[in-house]
Structure 1
Amino acid sequence: MQYRRFGKTNLNLSVFSLGTMRYLSDVEIAHQTIEKSLSLGINHLETARGYGQSEEYLGTAIKSGLSVPRSQLYITTKIPPCVDADTMERLIDESLQRLNLDYLDCLGIHGLNTRQHLEWVEAKNGCMQAVYKAVDDGRVKHIGFSTHGSLEIILAAINTDLFEFVNLHYYYFFQRHNSAIDAAIEKDMGVFIISPADKGGRLYTPPDKLKELCQPFTPLELNYRFLLSDPRITTLSVGAATPEELIAPLEVADHVGELRLEEIKVFENLENQQNQVLGTDKCSQCYACLPCPENINIPEVLRLRNLAVAYDMNDYGKYRYGMFENAGHWFPGMKGNRCTECGDCLPKCPENLDIPALLQDTHERLNGKAGRRLWG
């Protein structure tokens, strides 16, 4: 296991962090998974009050005694933004009680996704006053935020100078937030990449075509290497629900150097495949088409189409497409069939894509059962 400085927090975190969102029903398996992660060198455990019983399960493990001393272990929980300091004060204390902790190494404002959330954390007498109080009295050591918001919201949050770290979505198949990482590094913030296996493409169950294109590597291994080779990134979450699920990801925990020639060649092959298969229908993700009058997240819809057409990533596409209209501010936007063919987007597109036709095609390909977030 390799370790990196987590920005201005100066914490030295393992390059993989144990995310605990998938602790669904068994406290004993949760405890075993935590212990296995510690034995493999992970020193950062991350949870949230919104992850079902995750805080309680982690708290039970802490109370039972862990194999690593508390002073060598870093624990993060996340609490959503709220309007007032009193609510935040209560939520912080509840999380500490559930976790059986006197203090949190890191507190993340969870889901800073909208302009309103940003207003809440910037308000003079808002929820951050309780966070600052917790820092002053030692209940919280460091403050950051997690986000599923737009790039504009993320950059605005970084530029508030309120935070020491950021939890971001950023992967080989989704590089939109590259400039947010640059902005965070300019502020000496720690960068924590969330859900690289799942949101990064459901790469633990890749389609045959993608597996073929990635040979001699696995798609998951390549995504991890893409991220670990980037010195701007401190740590990646691994959301293991059992001890066994830790093994494959952590096989690359020591491979943090620059991409090797063989890996670069595979990434070039993936890019060539997308260009050849999609041809003039490829959306290059410039985002110039927004805003859409019908509130369709056109670039994200067409990104999912790119992946489905080029790499047969249909299961991933259906999983993410099904979140539209079902996950609120965590995954905003309407589905492609809401397009009225108003033509507003057409002159904005530098690639002259037939966006209405592509939206309809995406809907026909990927519209399955409605999705939702695992936890609210």
Structure 2
Amino acid sequence: MQYRRFGKTNLRLSVFSLGTMRYLANAENAQGAIALALSLGINHIETARGYGKSEEYLGKAIKAGLSVPRNKLYFTTKIPPTAEADSMRRYIDESLERLNLDYLDCLGIHGLNTWEHLEWVKAKNGCMSAVQSVVADGRVRHVGFSTHGPLEVILAAINTDFFEFVNLHYYYFFQRNAPAIQLAAKKDMGVFIISPADKGGRLYTPPQTLKDLCQPFSPLELNYRFLLSDKRITTLSVGPANADELIEPLRVADSDGKLTSAEISVFERLEKQQKIALATDKCSQCYACLPCPENINIPEVLRLRNLAVAYDMTDYGKYRYGMFENAGHWFPGMKANRCTECGDCLPRCPEKLDIPALLADAHERLNGKVGRRLWG
């Protein structure tokens, strides 16, 4: 296991962190995953107030005793932004109690996704005044934020200079947040990548087309290598539903050097395949088509279509597309069949794409069962 400095926190974290959203089945399941993670060299465990009973299960494991001394192990929990300080103060107290901890190494404002959330953070008597008070009394050592929000909100949150780290989405198949990675690095913030296996493409169950294109590597391994080769990134979340799911990801935990010529060759093959398969229908994700009068997240819909057409990543596309209209600010936007063919987006598209036709095709390909978040 390799370790990296988590930005200005100066914590040295394992390049993989144990994420706890998916081990919700029972306390025994959680303890097994925690024990194996620690034995494999993971020294950072990340949870959240909203992850079902995750804090409670982690707290039971901490109370029972872990194999790594407390001063060598780092815990993060995340709490949603609140409009006023009292709620945040109460939530922090509750999380510390559930976790059986005297202090948190890191506290993340969870889901700083909208301009309204950012206003709550910036308000004089908002949630950050409570956070600052617990930093002052030593119960929280470092403060950051997690986000599923648009790039503009992420950049604005980073520019508040309130935060020492950021948890965000960034993968080979989703590079929209590259400017946020760059700004965070400039400000010496720790960078934590959310769910690269799942949100990064459901790469633990890749389609055969993608597997063939990635040979001699697996798609999951390549995505991890894409991220680990970037020294601006500190740590990647690995969120097993059970202990066994830790084994395959951690096979690359020591492979954090520059991309090899063989790996670069595969990435070039993937780019070539996308250009050939999509031809003149390729959306390059410039976001110039927004805003949409019907609030369709056009670039994200067309990104999912890109992946389905180029790499047969249809199951992943259906999984993410099913979240539209069902996940609120965590995954905003209406489904593509809401398009009225008003034409507002057409003159703004530098590639002159027939966006209404592509939206209709995306909906036909990807519309399936309604998606939902694991937790509310």
Q: TM-score range by the shorter chain?
A: over 0.9
The correspondence of residues 1-376 of structure 1 with structure 2, limited to 5 A, is 1-376=1-376
| SS of equivalent to 2:120 | helix
Q: How many residues align?
A: 376
Q: Deviations over 1:63-107 (max 9, x none)?
A: 000000111000000000001111000000000000000000000
- Following TM superposition, the consecutive aligned residue runs of length 4 or more in structure 1 with deviations greater than 4 angstroms are none
1:236 aligned counterpart, secondary structure: strand
Aligned partners of 1:24 and 1:105: how far apart in 2?
Answer: 23
- Match of 1:204, SS? coil
1:326 offset after TM fit, Å? 0.4
Structure 1: segments with no counterpart, 5+ residues: none
Q: Which amino acid aligns with 1:124?
A: K
Deviations 1:314-358 (A, max 9, x none): 100000000000000000001100000000000000100000000
Which residue identity does 1:58 align to in structure 2? L
Deviation, 1:18, is: 0.2
Offset at residue 25 of structure 1 (A):
1.9
Question: How far apart are the structure 2 equivalents of 1:120 and 1:95?
Answer: 20
Quote the Cα distance in structure 1 between the aligned partners of 2:154 and 2:38. Answer: 31
Q: Shift in Å at residue 243 of structure 1?
A: 1.4
Say whether the 8 Å CA contact 1:289–1:348 is kept in structure 2. yes
Q: CA deviation digits over 1:156-215, x for unaligned, max 9?
A: 000000000000100000000000000101111000001000000000000000000000
1:11 alignment partner AA: L
Cα distance between partner residues in 1 of 2:330 and 2:149: 7
Give how far 1:276 is off.
0.1
8 Å CA contact 1:172–1:200 kept in 2: the answer is: yes
- What is the CA–CA distance in structure 1 between the aligned matches of 2:374 and 2:25, rounded to whole Å? 13
Query: How far did 1:24 drift?
Result: 1.8
Give the C-alpha shift of residue 281 in structure 1.
0.3
In structure 2, what residue type is equivalent to 1:36?
L
**SS of equivalent residue, structure 2 residue 277:** helix
How much does 1:118 deviate? 0.1
Which secondary structure state, in structure 1, belongs to the residue aligned with residue 247 of structure 2? helix
**Structure 1 position 372, deviation (Å):** 1.2
How far did 1:239 drift? 0.3
CA distance in structure 2 between the partners assigned to 1:331 and 1:197 by the alignment = 18
**How far off its partner does 1:373 sit?**
1.0
Residue type of the alignment partner of 1:244: D
User: Partner amino acid for 1:91?
Assistant: Y
Distance 1:138 1:22 in 2: 30
Q: Provide the C-alpha distance between the structure 2 equivalents of 1:301 and 1:32, rounded to a whole number of angstroms.
A: 38
Identity over aligned residues, as a percent?
80
Distance 1:26 1:129 in 2: 35
Distance in 2 separating the partners of 1:222 and 1:76: 27
Which consecutive unaligned segments of at least 5 residues does structure 2 have? none
Shift of 1:29: 1.6
Amino acid at match of 1:366: L
CA distance in 2, matches of 1:253, 1:337: 42
